[in-house]
Amino acid sequence: MNNPLKVIAKKMRFDMMKAIRPGQSHHIGCSYSIVEILTFLYFKLLKIDPKNPSNHDRDIFILSKGHAGLALYTILFEKGFINKDTLLSYDQDGGILPEHASNVIPGVEVSTGSLGHGLPIAVGFATSFLNDDKHNNVYVLMSDGELNEGSNWEAIMYAGFHKLHNLTVVIDGNGFQGYSDTEKVIDLSPISRKIENFGWNYYDADGHDFDSLDKVFQKIKKNKNKKPHFIFAKTTKGKGLPGLEGKFEAHYKSLDEETKQKLLNFLKI
């Protein structure tokens, strides 16, 4: 495990499991599918400072799939925005971390949970930065099922037309949404043609492979065509969890104490 990002991702999977409360439905599957994407963004890409979370020169990251708040809080812990006690208060009475992402937490830009809102808000940030000649970049992580929301397509249409080249969308392509396979609910293939026809750059990536993510972001850095960027990152629901990996039921799965302990032993660093 030479890549330091792999070490962080491994630690993150363990810390997330520590914060999970047995008997509760924490959207485990869709939190574990974005571990590498968040690790790459927070430790390789985003211009952010845990000591100064509201620095005006910072990049903006929005987790539009706010139900994976557990993953967002954990990467903020790994990066030093919040402490361990705060992380372990996740979804507890008296704690400050609600299940869905909340912007009262340092480092969380926008409260999310109602799907289809993150990208329209990101379009507002990106437009404002370009209007002010500022160099901040804006990143949004969305679920694949979330692409069914009409508000996203208004935002995609607007961003393409207005050439918001400081905006990047990453899709967590785990193939499932709350009630079924994404392709059984609405099959959006070929998504690349739809996105390109709206005036965006489109890229495929392996959402669990740091080299693959790095290659795509290098391409984006070199791309000067002034279009917004859309990355479809193929992922696996419940990645890294025996018994849950790649399974639909990982979405809402509630763990009992014994299973949690077994998984903690498995994930132990």
Q: Please report, as ranges, the residues that interact with Mg ion according to CB under 5 A.
A: 143-145, 174, 176
Shortest Cβ 88–Mg ion spacing (Å): 27
In this structure, the strands spanning 176-177 and 60-63 are unpaired
Shortest Cβ 143–Mg ion spacing (Å): 4
CB nearer to Mg ion: pick between 87 and 170: 170
| Torsion sign over Cα 154, 159, 161, 162 | positive
The residues near 185 (Cβ < 8 Å, ≥ 6 apart) are 145, 148, 177, 179
CB nearer to Mg ion: pick between 194 and 262: 194
Distance CA 2, CA 137 (A): 29
Shortest Cβ 8–Mg ion spacing (Å): 23
Distances (CA, A) of 157 to 56, 160, 162, 163, 199: 27, 5, 9, 10, 8
From the number of C-beta atoms within 10 Å of its C-beta (0-12, 13-18, 19+), residue 206 rates as middle
CB nearer to Mg ion: pick between 65 and 79: 65
Shortest Cβ 115–Mg ion spacing (Å): 11
The three-point CA angle 36-75-5 to 5° equals 40
Distance CA 215, CA 210 (A): 9
Q: Which amino acid is at 267?
A: L
CB nearer to Mg ion: pick between 229 and 251: 251
CB nearer to Mg ion: pick between 137 and 177: 177
Best CA proximity match to 207, nearest among 246, 243, 170:
170
Shortest Cβ 118–Mg ion spacing (Å): 14
CB nearer to Mg ion: pick between 74 and 174: 174
Q: Residue 160 in 3-state DSSP?
A: helix
Shortest Cβ 105–Mg ion spacing (Å): 23
